[in-house]
Amino acid sequence: MICYGSEQIALEKVKQKYLDEFVAKKDLYFFLGTTKQYHGWAKNPFVIVGTFHPPKEIQRRLGFPDFP
């Protein structure tokens, strides 16, 4: 088990991973769900239950002809 010393360092490493790898190089989608514990009373009971991060696909420009 790797121990980095503190929760703050671990949070920074997770943030760095998401911003540097997923957001810059891949599309990032979150799977949301609810938990029974918060469903009845929480203002927003949704939590992230998973992620999907396919490679970014650059969409090419459509070549519309010039209209007179």
What's the rounded mean pLDDT across residues 6-29? 83
Angle made by CA atoms 16, 34, 9, in degrees to the nearest 5: 20
Per-residue pLDDT of 27-59, as tens digits, reads 888 899 887 777 777 788 888 889 888 888 777
Q: Does the residue 58 lie in any domain?
A: no
Structure tokens at 67: 């209209």
Q: Does the residue 68 lie in any domain?
A: no
Q: Does the residue 44 lie in any domain?
A: yes
Q: Does the residue 45 lie in any domain?
A: yes
Q: Does the residue 62 lie in any domain?
A: no
Q: Does the residue 17 lie in any domain?
A: yes
Domain of residue 14 covers: 7-52
Q: Does the residue 2 lie in any domain?
A: no
The residue length of the chain stands at 68
Reference 51, options 24, 21, 30, 22; nearest CA is 30
